[in-house]
Homo-oligomer: A and B are copies of this chain.
Amino acid sequence: MPATYISEKIIARLSLYRRLLSNLLLDGVQNVYSHQLATMAGVSAAQVRRDMMAVGYNGTPVKGYTISDLIESIDRMLDSTHGQTVAIVGMGNLGRAIAAYFGNRKPNLSVRAAFDNDVEKIGHIVDGIECFHVSEFPRVAEERKIEVAVITVPAHAAQPVADLLTHSRVKGLLNFAPVRLRVPDDVYVENMDMAVSLEKVAYFARAGAPRRRGQA
């Protein structure tokens, strides 16, 4: 692993920190200490300080971290300079819910197209997002420079869809289908496996919640 090795976990934490910091800023708070941010994020203060190191942002012993500057530093780390375009594939219940959730919230990471194989849905604009037939994906992906896709199709359709997407320019998938996708090495897949997650919750509701490391 190179010196600049960035783990998946730190990226997740940075994304969370950024949201928490933005909310603080809206409340008029301007500085924050590592232990405050740690409490909000559910991690240890040492973890926060280490993450700040990774971001390359320095605080001061007296004022802690300046929130606005810190957000900028996280932006530099997480955000693409040119912006990224997201597509949602599968406009069933879940796909539409996610379209509503993500629809045009951030300029830097915006949902710009939806796809389905139901002819009824095609051509319509749902939550401000234009809907195409799946077969049009290669063309639209090229036009709109789609690099990231959310898969919300039924389980049996997920692998063929993933194949189609990765043959276009897609390099990242957020997969809600209860299937492990086979993709090329250079494609990143994050599985949102709701069935597995619910079973985990049910298990620990019964067996008792395990102590987590970060929570002293």
Contacts and interface: CB of A to CB of B under 8 A. Distances in A.
Given A192-B197, A195-B15, A202 B109 contact: yes
Interface stretch (A46-54, A132-140, A206-214): A206-214
A62 interface: no
Contact of A147 (B172, B199, B206): B206
Interface stretch (A3-11, A25-33, A63-71, A117-125): A3-11
Contacts of A97: 92-94, 96-97
A159 B172 CA distance: 32
Interface string A68-104: 0000000000101000101000001110111011100
Contacts of A109: 198-199, 202
A162 interface: no
Contact of A86 (B8, B148, B190, B198): B198
Contact of A171 (B40, B193, B206): B206
Q: In the assembly, how many copies of this chain are there?
A: 2
Interface residues of A, number: 59
Instruction: Specify which of A7, A98, A186, A202 lies most central, judged by the most chain B CB atoms within 10 Å of its CB.
Output: A202
A12 B201 contact: no
Contact of A172 (B8, B40, B92, B202): B202
A34 B98 CA distance: 36
Nearest to A197: B190
Contacts of A16: 180, 193, 196
Contacts of A180: 16, 40-42
